Every structure is written in structure tokens, then in C-alpha cells.
């Protein structure tokens, strides 16, 4: 019977044919008379037809039959698997425990189920659940055991994947908490430093007869301290972004009012540029994070100033473009070569200047701006010509605020 069986597929693993692994059909049979022998032969014929790894045992637990599928999987003939031969296919690491479990179940007559790694014909150990239940006659006499070996490989793979995912999440959480700590540790002394420097700066401003060099020194400390604060925030934002942890807190806000406010605060601090606001009439409602959108605007305006070293006009324009609210930041600066534009929003990208002029920067500002716009379901694009200037355009979905839903940005 076993020498002729058709190719079997065993629990999803590669099928091998009995012809490549000839299995002698020499499985022990119980000593039984003619009718019993015929019934036993019929039973085994039936079991052999199942594409599953099946076995039967005598009442003492020794195996007296294994199905062809088990022979195919292990690459061993039935004669080598019956009695206690199957135990040789168990992984050495859990063989002893598995056998002990087996003996206990047999001695108690209780059902048996254990996870074991079984060696395949290809030498690879895979996880299986070996389950077995006692067989009794109608009057309750134990006549043997019937068992099945089913693959649990996918469960183990899923568990391993789950464990990997959990490990990755833990690592992310640890990084996040380390980042927060670093951010806090860096910002706290810097805030104190800048605060004290500003105090000194104001005192000097109010005092008559101060040496201009002292005033300049105080101004420089304040400006550099503020610059350092911004750099630390940008680096921390980029790190959060890399770990998918940059978040926004959305409210309903009038983007036009926010842009106006930013323009008003920035204007006095621009000695060699003119900032012109061309505002849409009426509110421009969006669902947005006011602080993050203000950060984007500041970034674009600072770039407009930085990359227009000759000065000139910077235009801040708000408009409605269909169902989208649009903000343009236009400068008359050095512009960006067409070849550099596709990479502009990538992390640490800096477009070179033809003059070789070095302009301080990290190349993460636009990367963060794009991430913030993406989080808002919006976009940031650029149009630029070398030596003519650049226009950065922000677009956000326009919303209709519900009554009482509006967040009036403080002016």
C-alpha cells in the first residue's frame, strides 16, 4: 500500500513523492484473527488516504502505524518510525520533555497534545502539535491510541513576528523617551541662558553711556542663543519624524489671520528686506495645528530672507484656490537650480550656490515643513528660477466651520 501512494502535501510544506522516498510497507500489525485483520487493513487503508500525518498506537503507547504523509515529511520509512522510532525525529532540545509528557499521558490514559519540532526530510526542524486520544471499545476497554501531527509553524512564525514587532516598538519607545530627555536637558539650560541674556540686553538698552561693544555682545548672545534653540528644536523634530512620532494637534483656525500675525511679528525684524502681505479678504478656515503651521511659515520666511542676501521684497500671499487655501511665500533671491528642486524636501538636502557662498543651515527645515503639511493632508511645492527668486506654495483643504467650532487665533 505505502509503496504506491500518490504524492502528498504535508501541512503546507513541500510535497515529496513516495517514489522519491520509497517506504516499505512493513508496519507491525496487531495479532488478530481474520475479521479483525480485515478491519485493521481497511482502517489503515482509510488513514493512508488522508493527506495528513496520522498514527496509531497500541494500548501501551508504542506506535504501530504511521501514515504515508509522515514518512514523506520525515523522509523515513514507516518501519523506522513505528514503536519508538518517531522520537528520533524530535528536536534534541525538547525530545526528553516530549517523551516524558507522552509517557505520563499513556499511563494516565489521558489525551495528549504537545508542541514539538520535527525534523523534515530536508533536515529542517519545524513546529508541530502532536495530538493523540485513547480509543476504547463499547465496554470501555482501552484498545489503543489515534493521533495526528499538525503543523503549527505559521503560529510560531506569527508569534515570532509579534515578538519582533513588540521589540521594535519597545526600541522606538526607548528612543522616544531618550529624545525627550535629551531635548529637555538641552532646552532647559538654554532657555535660562537666553532669558538671562535678554534681561541683560534690556538693562543695557535702558542704561545711558553703555559701551556699544557691550551692547553688541549682549545682542549677539541673545541672537545666537535663539538660533541654537531653533536648531535643537529642528533636530529633535527631524528625529521624531524619522521615528514616525511627529504629531499635530488640530483645531479649526483662520489661516489668513495666522499668516497676518506672523507677518506683523516678523516685519520689524527685517532690516534689509521688505515684507509685503497680499491677503485674501475674509477668513480662510482650515483644520490645522496653529503652532506647527506657524513653524512652517517662519521657516519659509527665514529661508526667503537667508537666500536673498541682496535684500529685496518678500511677498506673503493668501488666496482661495477652489476648495483649497493657499499661501505663497515669494522672494527675489538666488533661486534654486531646476536640477536641485526635486530633492529639496529631502532630509539634509542643501542646494549649492554657484558663487560657492556658504549659507549656514542643516538642510532639515523644508523636510520638516513637508512632513507637517503632509500630516495636515496638505502640500508644499516650489517654483524657482536661478537668480530670479523662489515661490514656495502651501495648500491646505478648506473647511466650513460649524457654529461654535472656530478657534480665533489671538492677534
Which of 120, 225, 288, 333 binds ligand ADP (CB under 6 A)? It is 333
From residue 274 to residue 303, what is the string marking binding to ligand ADP with x (rule CB under 6 A)? Answer: -----------------------------x
Any contact of residue 350 with ligand ADP (CB under 6 A)? yes
Burial of 247 (0-12, 13-18, 19+ CB in 10 A): exposed
Which of 365, 371, 373, 395 binds ligand ADP (CB under 6 A)? It is 365
| Residue 308 C-beta: closest distance to ligand ADP, Å | 7
The Cα–Cα gap between 259 and 277 comes to 9
Closest CA to 352 of 365, 371, 339, 368: 339
Rule CB under 6 A: which of 300-319 touch ligand ADP? 303-304, 307
- Judge contact between 146 and 133, C-beta under 8 A: yes
| Residue 304 C-beta: closest distance to ligand ADP, Å | 5
DSSP state of 377: T
Which of 28, 183, 309, 363 binds ligand ADP (CB under 6 A)? It is 363
Which of 390, 393, 394, 395 binds ligand ADP (CB under 6 A)? It is 390
Residue nearest to ligand ADP (CB): 361
Which of 362, 377, 385, 388 binds ligand ADP (CB under 6 A)? It is 362
Any contact of residue 393 with ligand ADP (CB under 6 A)? no
Query: Checking DSSP bridges between strand 53-57 and strand 389-397, what pairing results, if any?
Result: unpaired
| CB proximity list for 378: less than 8 A, separation 6 or greater | 324, 394, 395, 396, 397
- Judge contact between 288 and 250, C-beta under 8 A: yes
Closest CA to 384 of 316, 328, 334: 334
Number of residues that bind ligand ADP (CB under 6 A): 20
Q: Which residues pair with 383 in a beta bridge?
A: 391
| Residue 247 C-beta: closest distance to ligand ADP, Å | 21
Which of 71, 197, 366, 394 binds ligand ADP (CB under 6 A)? It is 366
- Judge contact between 353 and 347, C-beta under 8 A: no
Q: Which three cell numbers stand for residue 219?
A: 545682542
Which of 148, 149, 334, 371 binds ligand ADP (CB under 6 A)? It is 334
Name the site residues for ligand ADP (rule: CB under 6 A).
303-304, 307, 331, 333-336, 344, 349-351, 361-367, 390
Amino acid at each position: 500500500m505505502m509503496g504506491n501512494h500518490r504524492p502528498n502535501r504535508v501541512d503546507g510544506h513541500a510535497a515529496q513523492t513516495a517514489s522519491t522516498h520509497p517506504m516499505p510497507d512493513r508496519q507491525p500489525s496487531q495479532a488478530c484473527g481474520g475479521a479483525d485483520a480485515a478491519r485493521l487493513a481497511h482502517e489503515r487503508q482509510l488513514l493512508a488516504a488522508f493527506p495528513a500525518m496520522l498514527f496509531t498506537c497500541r494500548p501501551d503507547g508504542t506506535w504501530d502505524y504511521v501514515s504515508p504523509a509522515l514518512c514523506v515529511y520525515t523522509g523515513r520509512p514507516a518501519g523506522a518510525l513505528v514503536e519508538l522510532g518517531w522520537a528520533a525525529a524530535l528536536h534534541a532540545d525538547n525530545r526528553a520533555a516530549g517523551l516524558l509528557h507522552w509517557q505520563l499521558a499513556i499511563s494516565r490514559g489521558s489525551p495528549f497534545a504537545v508542541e514539538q519540532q520535527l525534523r523534515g526530510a530536508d533536515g529542517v526542524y519545524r513546529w508541530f502539535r502532536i495530538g493523540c486520544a485513547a480509543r476504547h471499545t463499547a465496554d470501555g476497554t482501552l484498545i489503543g491510541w489515534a493521533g495526528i501531527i499538525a503543523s503549527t509553524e505559521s503560529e510560531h512564525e506569527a508569534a515570532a513576528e509579534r515578538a519582533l514587532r513588540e521589540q521594535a516598538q519597545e526600541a522606538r519607545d526607548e528612543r522616544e523617551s531618550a529624545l525627550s530627555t535629551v531635548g529637555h536637558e538641552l532646552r532647559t539650560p538654554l532657555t535660562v541662558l537666553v532669558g538671562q541674556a535678554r534681561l541683560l540686553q534690556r538693562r543695557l538698552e535702558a542704561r545711558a553711556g553703555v559701551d556699544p561693544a557691550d551692547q553688541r555682545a549682549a545682542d549677539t548672545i541673545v541672537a545666537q542663543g535663539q538660533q541654537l534653540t531653533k536648531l535643537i528644536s529642528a533636530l529633535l523634530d527631524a528625529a521624531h519624524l524619522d521615528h514616525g512620532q511627529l504629531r499635530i494637534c488640530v483645531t479649526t483656525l483662520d489661516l489668513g489671520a495666522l499668516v497676518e500675525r506672523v507677518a506683523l511679528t516678523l516685519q520689524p525684524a527685517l532690516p534689509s528686506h521688505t515684507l509685503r502681505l497680499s491677503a485674501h479678504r475674509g477668513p480662510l478656515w482650515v483644520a490645522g495645528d496653529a503652532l506647527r503651521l506657524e513653524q512652517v511659515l517662519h521657516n519659509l520666511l527665514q529661508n526667503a530672507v537667508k537666500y536673498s542676501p541682496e535684500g529685496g521684497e518678500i511677498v506673503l500671499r493668501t488666496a482661495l484656490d477652489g476648495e483649497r487655501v493657499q499661501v505663497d511665500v515669494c522672494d527675489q533671491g538666488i533661486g534654486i537650480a531646476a536640477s536641485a528642486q526635486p530633492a529639496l524636501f529631502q532630509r539634509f538636502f542643501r542646494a549649492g550656490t554657484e558663487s560657492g557662498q556658504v549659507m549656514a543651515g542643516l538642510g532639515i527645515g523644508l523636510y520638516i515643513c513637508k512632513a507637517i503639511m503632509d500630516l495636515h493632508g496638505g502640500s508644499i511645492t516650489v517654483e524657482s528660477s536661478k537668480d530670479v527668486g523662489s515661490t514656495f506654495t502651501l495648500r491646505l483643504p478648506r473647511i466650513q466651520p460649524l457654529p461654535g467650532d472656530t478657534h480665533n487665533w489671538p492677534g
